[in-house]
Copies of this chain bind each other. A is one copy, B any other.
Amino acid sequence: MGKEISIQVIRRLPRYYRFLSELEKEGVDKISSTKLSAIMDTSASQIRQDLNCFGGFGQQGYGYPVSQLKDKIGSILGIQNNYKAILLGAGNLGKAVATHMNFQSLGFELSAIFEKNPRLIGTMLRGITVKSDEEIKDFCTQNKITTAFLCLPKDAVSAQVDILYSLGIKTFWNFSHYDISKKYPDTIVENVHMSDSLMTLCYRISESQK
CB atoms of A199 and B95 under 8 A apart: no
Contact pick for A205, options B182, B188, B202, CB 8 Å = B188
Chain A positions 189-210 with a Cβ under 8 Å from a chain B Cβ: 190, 192-208, 210
Given A14-B193, A101-B194, A202 and B96 touching (CB < 8 A)? no
Q: B-facing mask of A8-31, CB < 8 A → 1, else 0?
A: 001101110110000000000000
> A33 near B: Cβ within 8 Å?
no
In the bound assembly, the distance between CA atoms of A202 and B210 in angstroms comes to: 41
> A44 near B: Cβ within 8 Å?
no
Chain A positions 83-105 with a Cβ under 8 Å from a chain B Cβ: 83, 91-93, 95-97, 99-103
CB atoms of B76 and A203 under 8 A apart: yes
Chain B's closest residue to A107 (CB) is B202
CB atoms of B10 and A206 under 8 A apart: no
Q: How many copies does the complex hold?
A: 2
**A-B contact list, 6 entries, CB within 8 Å:** A18-B195, A41-B182, A77-B200, A78-B202, A103-B198, A106-B199
CB atoms of A201 and B41 under 8 A apart: no
In the bound assembly, the distance between CA atoms of A101 and B10 in angstroms comes to: 29
> A181 near B: Cβ within 8 Å?
yes
Q: Which residues of B contact A203 (CB under 8 A)?
A: 10, 13, 76-78
Q: Which residues of B contact A202 (CB under 8 A)?
A: 77-79, 81, 83, 106-108
> A171 near B: Cβ within 8 Å?
yes
Q: Which of A92, A99, A171 has the most CB of B within 10 A?
A: A92
Q: Which residues of B contact A96 (CB under 8 A)?
A: 91-93, 95-96
> How close is A153's CB to chain B, nearest CB, in angstroms?
9
Q: Which residues of B contact A200 (CB under 8 A)?
A: 10-11, 13-14, 77, 190
In the bound assembly, the distance between CA atoms of A18 and B196 in angstroms comes to: 8
Chain B's closest residue to A78 (CB) is B206
